[in-house]
Each structure stands twice: as structure tokens, then as C-alpha cells.
Structure 1
Amino acid sequence: MSTSRLDAMYRSILLTKFFTKGWGKPENLRRLFEFRKVVSNREECLKLIERDYPVTITREQKMSDCTLLEGYFLSPLERYLPGIVPEIAQKAHFQALLPVHWPEKGCKPMCLHLAGTGDHFFWRRRNLMVKPLLKEAGIGGIILENPFYGLRKPTDQVRSSLHNVSDIFVMGGCLILESLVLFHWCERNGLGPLGVTGLSMGGHMASLAATNWPKPLVLVPCLSWSTASAVFLQGVMSHSINWDLLEDQYLSDGEYREKLSKMVTIVDEAFLAGKKFARTYSQSMELPVANNTEKKKDDAEPAKKLDITYNESGAKVPPNVVDVDVSKNILDINTGETKVTTDTVAHSETLYKELQRLLGEGKISDVLFKKLTSNEKFVLEPQDIEALNQLSEQNIKEVLLKCKVADLQQLLQNSKKHVQEKMREKSSANETDLVVDSSPQILKDPLKSVELTQKAVKKPEKPWNISEFTSDLWVNLPFLRSTSKSGKKIDIGKIHWRDREALQFMRGIMDECTHLSNFSVPFDTSLIIAVCAKHDAYVPREDVGTLEEIWPGAEVRYVDAGHVSAYILHQSLFRSCIKEAFERSKKRWKDGKHID
């Protein structure tokens, strides 16, 4: 899907720069990563906020069409991570607008509105969303000031230019807990059903906040998606980051590289690996056979049926099949080892049955069957590719994570040589004497890749790892594409592997703290209506988990617009989705109980 030129143009004229002081203190990042594991669990997070958490109302103003309340409370994050929230941001300021008369007896719907990037103070949300919703549907609203914005902005911060990468995680941690405080406050005052919404960054913060409420909650995230990693690495916002500064800090301070990098998970890495693997090798090209140094067993030996056991959740699991949830595994970019983040697997039995079927139909050999149903690492040979392409995408992920990384790299090297030969033949036919760029990017799409350089590119100082090949990150980053704004050609093949380490770290920490799959699933996903822009250049959606996959039952709607134009032209659509979601809630739930 093409992206909006208006988004790129709008971002280019803004002066706002992000993370001007770097990553933030390593100790702060460590504390945030550890705390994320608490707030991402609904039961544990709820224990942090008592039902009667103190809230102070400082002003009450009666108007002709509504009652305006203003108040504040101490951000709970300061309780649990002392010193991590700037002093001026520790007091959470909010406004609440209540209708003079509620349209329905016994029903007082309230929606919490969280701020998008650059949305300081209350006036914008109050006039564009809260007042119209109050007038059109009798839905009251709460407007919470973001940390680092408006009344909570540090004095040395310029506009919305957050100083550190860690600030975005402090902001998220504050808003998750502060939303719980306000939901409890609403319940104490007899308000409900409840909902939460936001645009852009506010939409993603609303999604995070919704994961921890243990009751039905309307959720309408607008112009956001499943993770912030794509926003800062692939979207137009990436141009607003001083990557040189982040790279220098990452490489010069061992805390980031040696300790913090091991605490984060790139959630979609396995997904990308399987997707890229299937897409790249399903092409009808003859690949040279990879070197297989392992001794093969007798092909005629019959395959033994696996005994089925049961895991802790009661699901059947073949013991021979890899006993991990590969959708939440990553490959360590330094060692090539698979990191296991959970001890259950949802697809092992499905994979085993699918392999049995293919074996019975003669579509895979006994040798390949034994490889795929063994816990041992195995060599993936070119002749196996056609058979593997018959597997589902989810099962390809599992297979790929069991391959021997070194042998798979050898396969990639051999296939690279094959592509080079094809390109040389093409260049010879055109009477052009060019040396093929041997960077991993050429494998992604050899005919549409970066222009071949006149000089041979030096071999990287560090061997390629599987992550560099499988991830679309390196070719999707706007600042790593083949031409600069000035039109000057950029030789992507000369980008040093150390530069990519810092980018991989950014992606890892963004996924760790913002990927929705790292958090609990909202109580009732049928009350979720997400609105996305088809041509959004701020929030790319390719190669990351979808909301429908992460939250089964959630509805996603699309507008034929970019990020900026959708924000300007489709406010009425956002409001209509909020009203529809509240109507759903009223039909499905009453006083927290399901209506049959």
C-alpha cells in the first residue's frame, strides 16, 4: 500500500526532534523493562492501584450544556519507580466534562481521551472530540494531560521534543496506571459504561491502558497499530531522530550493548523470518546444494509416531516437537541462539499432523520428516524448500527456528551467488560491466534493489546473521534507502554492521515496552473498533503483528487517507465509531454482567 506524500511533507516542515539526549540512563531503562513485566499482567497491575486512590477536584464549573471539573492526583508510577518521572510531571492533571442531563436513566457513559503527539493541554481534545460526543450522544469525557506535555512538560524541553528514548516508556507507564486511577474514580462516582480512545500516539496509549481494566471497556484507537517500533524505525518520524547520537551512545556504553540488549524481545522477528523465508525461496530458481557436514541417517528407516503428552494448560503437545511458542521467540543477533520467552506451544500438534499428512501423500521425504519432528538442530537443504512451502506460514516460523543458523547462512551465501550470476548475465546482455553489490539487501528483491555500484563492495567485517537477512527493517528505513533528499545515491551495502546493532536495539526496546502482544488481552475484544489510515506514513503496518491476530474479535476499519489527512478530515468518523462501540457495550453488558 502506498504511503501519503502529505504525511512526508508535513513531517519534513516540522521542527520537532526526538530523543535529542540519547537513550536515557541505562539504570532507568533497566527499571522500566522490569516494571513492564508487571504492568503487562492485568492481575498484577490491578494490585498497584487501590479502588479509592486519592483524586483531588480543584474546580467545578456549571455551564449551560455541561459541568466542567478540573483535578489532579499523584502519578502512581512515581510510587513504584521513584525518581524516574520528572518532578513537574508527577502530578497528573485532568478535566472532566459531564452532561447536565444524562439521556438514559441509569446509564452514564464516560470516555477517557488520551493525547497524541504534540497535543498539549486540553483545548484540542475538548473541542474536537469531547464536546461533540457530549452533544451528539450524551457521552461524557475525561481529558488527561500527558506526562512531558502541557502542564507536565519539563522546563528545559522544547515543544514535544522528548529528551530520551526512555521518556516515551515513562510516558506510557504513567498513562497505563493513571488511566486505572480515573476508571476507579468514575466507578466511585457512579459513572459507566467506560471507554478509552486516542489519536495516533494517544490511540496506542489507549490500547495499552485498556489491557489492564478487568471489566468490559470500550476501546477506539485511531491511527495507531500494534507496536511503536515501526513508527520510529520505518515511518516518517524516523527522520526526526539523531541516529548518529544513539549509535555512538550504544557502542560506547557497554550497559546498553552487554546488558540491556539481552533484556528485550523483538516480538515479530520469528514472523518476519518465516514470511521472508517463504517469500524469497518460493521463487522458481535452482539453488546450489548447501554443504551438509552432518552424517545422514538411512532414508529407508521408517518414521516413528510421536507420543502425545499434555502441557500445563491441558493442550496436547508432541514431546519431540520443539516445546516453545515460536511466535514469542527471538534469535540472538550475536550468538544465533534462540531465546525462549514462554514454555508453551500452541501449534506443535498442528505442525506434527500437517507433516504426517504430507509424508503420507509423499510430498516430503522420511529424512525431512525426521528432521522436522526432532528436537535436534538440522541442516536445511535446497531440495527441502519446495516441500516446506506447502506448510502454513505459522508452521514455517517453527521450522525456521529449528534450523542450524550456520548452515542456513551457508544456504543464503550459495543462493546469493546464484542471484549474482543471474544479475551478471542480465548486465552482460545489456553490455554493462558492473560488479554486483554483495550486501544482504540484494537478496530481498534483486531486480528492484539498490543500483549496483561501479566498485565491488567489501565483505562485512561481521558474518551476516539470520536477523539481518529475514528482517525487512534495513530496506524499509527511510534514512537507509537508495537516495537521499538531495537525490544523492546512497550505497546501502557499505552500512557497517555496528550501525545496525543500534537500530536493532531500538526496535527491541520499542517492541519490549509497546508491542500489544506483550500485554494482556482486553476483557471484551468485541468492544474494540480500531480506525486506521490506508496510506499512513507515520504508522507503518507491514511486517508487524496485526490487531486482529493479537486481539481476536477486534474490528479494524480503514479510511482511504494518510495520517495527517485522516486526522484533519475524519474526526466525525472517529466519533461515530466511539458512539457505536458504546452502543455495543450497552447491549452486551449491564453493571458488569453479560446480557444474554
Structure 2
Amino acid sequence: MGVSKPEDLKRLFEFRKIIGNRERCQNLVSSDYPVYIDKIEEQSDCKILDGHFVSPMAHYVPDIMPIESVIARFQFIVPKEWNSKYRPVCIHLAGTGDHHYWRRRTLMARPMIKEARMASLLKPKDQIRSSLKNVSDLFVMGGALVLESAALLHWLEREGYGPLGMTGISMGGHMASLAVSNWPKPMPLIPCLSWSTASGVFTTGVLSKSINWRELEKQYYTQTVYEEEIIHMLEYCGTDSFKMGQEFVKRFLAIDGPSCVPKPVECHKSSKTSISATSEGLLLQDTSKMDCFNHTLSTNKSSYTSCSPQSCHLLSKEQRRNNLQKESLIFMKGVMDECTHVANFSVPVDPSLIIVVQAKEDAYIPRTGVRSLQEIWPGCEIRYLEGGHISAYLFKQGLFR
């Protein structure tokens, strides 16, 4: 997995500023956005409708999506008979590795028809495989699903369905969270096995071991545009990103001693963000996020030029490699927080309609060192299940329903 082309990241970061604001985002997809039904299949207990529409993302960020993802497809499972005047529908977004309909149709949608007479609309994962070719693939997926969900919600309202809700497991739960953040009406949301940001999944969670860090480090170190331009576009510098930077500096000092590290700059210039991490004894009010972020990222490179020959020769090749790895990690976390952290999106209209389902021993979705959803969405409910990410996915489907 590569960092992505700088020009692609710039376009995505600019678009994130638009979809991160509900007032601006709701005008991107019209209430009469065209949706087409291709096939209707009668089953013994339900009707299954297959449909498609052009992803709105293709209109706003041209040529950023894989050609096979421009046409968004979905499957709509509807009970043959409704028990009341209401026709509730829940949109299920696909998680990592869930590329088709069968799993959610069998484990979630059809049981929900029997148990609650609730219809389900399944949106598949457009990516051909589970692995990401570039970091930007995750951002493209998120932006596309926010707009595609809006198109489907508008269509369901036009067809007279409601109340409407959204859910998803793992990455699907996170994408559902972003979609509901941008919907201008109160909406129930059940994100399962997801948290406030996707950055920890790829930087500290189990999946971090699958990342080609050598390639990322090479791109970051050889292409100065990432440090000189991309960093300045990052708008999120919250408690967790700042804390990771502080921890990096502490580790660097512990390894190399203070003689090889320049004196920290004071972060007290023009203000955009207030950082508060009282749990760690950190309180930095009225700060410039880029001063702090740039200082953390430049520590490694500046240390090589500012330290004395007597002290610099102590830096072994392995130590320099470790420092570059840490610097790349911090950059990656900042980039991923920019486009996936829910704090960078509007708070849902009514957080009391949100129930977050988490696994207590989830090694895939780290919660340590990142902001809690309860802090970002005051009023939401968190429920914890015994077990880890995989066991919860395999054995807790009944609780998810």
C-alpha cells in the first residue's frame, strides 16, 4: 500500500472539507437523484430487488474512483407483507472483505424480516479485494459511501419507506457513522465493531502488520511534497494525534539523548484548534496545530543536521531507520485522521438515537489513545460484548440485530 499521489490527496482533502460539513454536504445529492431497479425476484418470505445508480462521487471528484465503482449497486430485501402502516428500512454497509450480498442477506436481512418485519438495503463493497492499493482508496470509499447513502435515503423517502436507519459491521459501521453525520434529519445508527477513527486500525491495530511500511517510508522521505504541502492541508490535530506526537518525541529522547534533538518550538501562534488531553497531563490551549504537527514530523530530519558529530555518530543505521519509521507512522496517522475521524464531520442531528456496539477485546479496532465516541457524540450509548473482533462478528449476529 502506497501513500497515494500527492495530487489525489490534495483533491480528497479539499472535498473532505465539503462533506465534513452537513450544511454544505446536503446540497450535493438532490432529493430526486435517479435510482434504477434492474430486477425484482419473488421469494417465499420476501422480495429481492436489485438496483443501481451513478455514484455522486464521480461527479464531484472525477477520475478518482476505479471505473468498476462508478456505478453503485445495491440489493433491497423487502417483506411480502407489512405488519403496520410503517415500512421501516435499515441500510447495511459492507465491512472489510464483505464484497457481496449473501452474508448480510443470510445473517442479517432475512432474519430481520422474520423478527421485526424490517426491510434491509444492502450496499456492497465496491473494492475488488480486501487489501488497499493506496491510502487514498480508504478516503475515496468513505466519500463515495457518504454520497451514495444520501442518494439511497432520498430514494427510500420518495418511495414512502420509513423510519430509516443505518448500520454496518467493522469498516461498514464506520462508514455508516460518516453517512449519518451528514444526513440532515434524526436517524437511528448502530455502528458495530467500529470506533471514532480508522487511523488506529492501520497504524497500531492488528492490520498494521499488513502494511508495507518500507514503501510508505520511502515515498514519504523521498517526496518532500508530503511534508511541505500535504501536512499543511490537515485540519485535524486532536488529542489523540497530538498525544502520539508527544510519545514519539519522548521515545526519541530516550534513545538518542537531548543533545541530538533541537529545542522544541513554542506552539503559540495563530489559533485554529484547542488541544486538551488532561488524562495525560497535557493541556495546550490556543495553539497552532501546524506548528505542533510540523515540529513533531521534522524532529527526525532536523536532528541529523543540528546534532554534533560526537553525538550523531552514535545514531546507528537501525536507530535512524526506527526514527524514520516513527515519523512515517505519525504522518500516516495524521493523514488518515483527516479523512476518517468522525470529529472532522458534523455531529449527527440526534446522537441519542445512536447505539455503538463494541467488543471488549477488539485488537483490530484500538480504542486506547483515541477520543471516545461518547465525547464526540454526547448522548450516544455504548454497549460492550465479550470477546474480540472476529469472535463477535462470527457469534454475535443475533445481538447486532
- Shorter-normalised TM range: 0.7 to 0.9
Residue 546 of structure 1 deviates from its aligned partner by: 0.2
**Cα separation, 1, equivalents of 2:218 and 2:376:** 35
State the Cα RMSD in Å. Answer: 3.3
Which residue, 112, 122, 127 being the options, matches 2:106? 127
Residue 37 of structure 1 deviates from its aligned partner by: 0.4
What is the 5 A alignment of 1:351-390? none
**Cα separation, 2, equivalents of 1:499 and 1:123:** 40
Question: Which entry has the higher C-alpha Rg, 1 or 2?
Answer: 1
Identity fraction in percent = 49
Residue 512 of structure 1 deviates from its aligned partner by: 0.2
TM-score normalised to the size of structure 2? 0.85
Alignment pair present for 1:342 and 2:228: no
Residue 494 of structure 1 deviates from its aligned partner by: 5.4
The CA deviation string for residues 491-529 of structure 1, in whole angstroms up to 9 with x for no partner, is 985544333222111101110000010000111111100
The residue aligned with 1:145 is 124
Which residue, 156, 167, 173 being the options, matches 1:203? 173
Residue 104 of structure 1 deviates from its aligned partner by: 1.7
The CA deviation string for residues 349-394 of structure 1, in whole angstroms up to 9 with x for no partner, is xxxxxxxxxxxxxxxxxxxxxxxxxxxxxxxxxxxxxxxxxx9659
Q: Kindly tell me: are residues 500 and 336 of structure 1, through their superposed partners in 2, closer, same or farther at Cα, counting changes over 3 Å?
A: farther
Residue 115 of structure 1 deviates from its aligned partner by: 0.7
The residue aligned with 2:210 is 240
What is the 5 A alignment of 1:102-501? 102-105=82-85, 107-148=86-127, 153=128, 159-264=129-234, 265-269=236-240, 272=243, 337=267, 342=272, 393=279, 396-398=282-284, 461=304, 495-501=321-327
The residue aligned with 1:73 is 53
**Cα separation, 1, equivalents of 2:265 and 2:57:** 36
User: Contact between 2:267 and 2:287, CA under 8 Å: does it hold in 1?
Assistant: no
TM-score normalised to the size of structure 1? 0.58
User: Contact between 2:41 and 2:47, CA under 8 Å: does it hold in 1?
Assistant: yes
Which residue, 368, 374, 393 being the options, matches 1:542? 368
Q: Kindly tell me: are residues 396 and 251 of structure 1, through their superposed partners in 2, closer, same or farther at Cα, counting changes over 3 Å?
A: closer
Q: Kindly tell me: are residues 241 and 273 of structure 1, through their superposed partners in 2, closer, same or farther at Cα, counting changes over 3 Å?
A: closer
**Cα separation, 2, equivalents of 1:53 and 1:401:** 43
The residue aligned with 2:18 is 38
Q: Kindly tell me: are residues 204 and 261 of structure 1, through their superposed partners in 2, closer, same or farther at Cα, counting changes over 3 Å?
A: same
Residue 396 of structure 1 deviates from its aligned partner by: 4.3
Which residue, 6, 29, 32 being the options, matches 2:9? 29
The residue aligned with 1:568 is 394
One-letter amino acid matched to 1:116: G
SS in 1 for 2:72: strand
Show structure 1 runs of 5+ residues with no match.
Answer: 1-18, 154-158, 277-332, 348-390, 410-439, 441-458, 465-490, 576-596
Moved more, 236-245 or 138-147: 138-147
SS in 2 for 1:397: strand
SS in 2 for 1:93: strand
User: Contact between 1:194 and 1:218, CA under 8 Å: does it hold in 2?
Assistant: yes
**Cα separation, 2, equivalents of 1:175 and 1:339:** 37
One-letter amino acid matched to 1:129: M
One-letter amino acid matched to 2:204: Q
**Cα separation, 2, equivalents of 1:527 and 1:51:** 23
The CA deviation string for residues 314-355 of structure 1, in whole angstroms up to 9 with x for no partner, is xxxxxxxxxxxxxxxxxxx99664676737x799xxxxxxxx
Residue 216 of structure 1 deviates from its aligned partner by: 1.5
The CA deviation string for residues 420-466 of structure 1, in whole angstroms up to 9 with x for no partner, is xxxxxxxxxxxxxxxxxxxx9xxxxxxxxxxxxxxxxxx963779xx
One-letter amino acid matched to 1:212: N
**Cα separation, 2, equivalents of 1:40 and 1:221:** 19
SS in 2 for 1:398: strand
One-letter amino acid matched to 1:268: T
SS in 1 for 2:138: helix
**Cα separation, 2, equivalents of 1:224 and 1:533:** 9
